[in-house]
Each structure stands twice: as C-alpha cells, then as structure tokens.
Amino acid sequence: MKYLLSLIILASSVSCRSGTTLQEDEIYSRHLQRKVKLTVINTPIPSDRSKLNLLLLNDGQEVSRLRVKEVVDSLFSNGKIQPLVVVAIHAGNRLQEYGVAGKPDYAGRGGKAGYYEAFINNELYPFLKKKTGTRKFRNVAFAGASLGGLSAFDFSWNHPEKINKVGVFSGSFWWRDKDTTDSTYSDEKNRIMYAKLKNSRKHPKLQFWFYVGRNEETSDRDHDGLIDVIDDTKDIINLLKQKNPYSQIIYKEVKDAGHDWPYWSAVFPDFLIWAFGK
C-alpha cells in the first residue's frame, strides 16, 4: 500500500489542474492469508477531507470492463459528483470469499466470506481512513455485481456504522443453503440472505440501489413469468421496506439487458450520481 499515500498526497497538491488518477496497489491480509490487489481511482482530493467520499467496489479486477476511471472522470469533470476515492478490491477465490458471512451455500461455497468481511472491517477500512487522513468520510458506499453484489450487501447490512449506501448490480440473492432439487426446498427458508433479513432484528439506516436486467437468465422457479433475479431482488426490497419503511430504495430494471459487465457499466453512472451526486 506504499503507493496509495503518495497518490493521495500528489492528488491533493495538484487538485486544481489534474483529473482522475488510477494506481495499482496491494495490501497483505492476515484474515485472508494472502495479498489483496487493489485498484485505487480518485478524483482530486479536497483540502477539507470531510468532503471526501469513499466507494468500495468488489471484483476490482474488472474495473476496465466497468469503465470506472472513465465514468468517474467524466462525472467529476462535469460537476455531477463530489470528490471520490474508489478502492476496487480484486477478487481472490470469489466463490469462497464472496457470499453471506458465516453461512456457506448448499455446495459449500462462501466458506471464507466471514474472513473477507473481517478483512474489509478490520484491515482495509481502517487503513484507508488513516492513509487519506480522513476522520470520517462524507459518504461510504459498497457496491458489487452478481456474487460481488451479494457480498457488498451482506457486509453493509452487518456494518451500517461504516457503510451508509449499498449498490447491488444483479445480486445473487438466489444464494441458498438447500438445492432446489430437494423436495423440502423453500424460498422463504432456504434463500440465505432472504432468511437472514427476515429473522434480523436490526433496522440499519442504509440506503439501497438495485439493478437487474430482464434478459439475465431464463430460470423462473415459481413460474410467475418473472426471471428469478427479478423475483429475488424484489423479495429483498419488500423485506427492507418492512424493516425500515423510511429507507431510500432505488430499483432499476432494464429491458434487453443481460448478466455481464457492459450492461452494468451502462448504469454505473446512474449509481454514482445517486450515491455521490452534488
């Protein structure tokens, strides 16, 4: 992480005449027992660090396909978003490290999700605050796509003291602890995140932004004419409204959109303006 500090200092010193910058870096995680690669993208840093915003982004290895730097630079240059640091976390074994902390799925996937949560909470987040010299970010959002979206949602639900906005692009809310081929499978009981929310006593004051594409899949478990990614996301939204009817929840559904980075990139500007707009 030695380059991150120099990056931010440089950005601060030339903020009036420089644009968005990108730096590759890494940090060793004792929780994950590996080096975690990071792509750090930031607009010019304001002298008043209380105006600085932070976006944590899963699947950081895909920043070029999501067009993060280009989108951030364009929005900031046009006065659409506030000063922002994006820390894109490159995935390791995403089928093990992403998921719902403490609750692997029926195939044993997501077994290291708790360690990933500990890495974000105990190692990465404190480090970023220290290196940016920011006592408290103005807004902190965590976003991800597909399984990375489920991971971002789960962490944010568990740590609303650190995260106040969540972005989920085509979230894997189908994640379940029993296969649908099992005769005892139930959407109510066996979708892991749904069951967690339903049984939770917490009512975190989070803001949520959800996206789904109508052509992401063909699966339709309940044969209601809606693909599962839409049903699963809407079920999560309905639970959130019950938990905290005053939470801001944005739902965006796009016709003819599939389950891939170009489709998520197309709506990424909308998410950034919602999360960090002026």
Q: Where are the domains of the chain?
A: 2-276
**β-bridge pairing 84-89 and 140-145:** unpaired
Query: What DSSP letter does each residue of 228-260 carry, written as one string?
Result: HHHHHHHHHHHHHHHH-TTS-EEEEEETT--SS
Q: Which two tokens stand for residue 28?
A: 């060793």
Q: Which two tokens stand for residue 208?
A: 């949520």
Torsions phi, psi of 259, nearest 5? -100, 80
Q: In this predicted structure, what is the pLDDT of residue 132?
A: 86
What's this model's pTM, rounded to 2 decimal places?
0.92
Question: What pLDDT score was predicted for residue 12?
Answer: 37
How many alpha carbons lie under 13 Å from residue 71 in its C-beta half-sphere? 20
pLDDT tens digits for range 110-156: 999 999 999 999 999 998 998 888 989 999 999 999 999 999 999 99
The string of pLDDT tens digits covering residues 196-229 is 999 998 777 899 999 999 999 999 788 888 899 9
81, with CB counted inside 10 A (0-12, 13-18, 19+), is: buried
Q: Which fold has domain 2-276?
A: Rossmann fold (3.40.50)
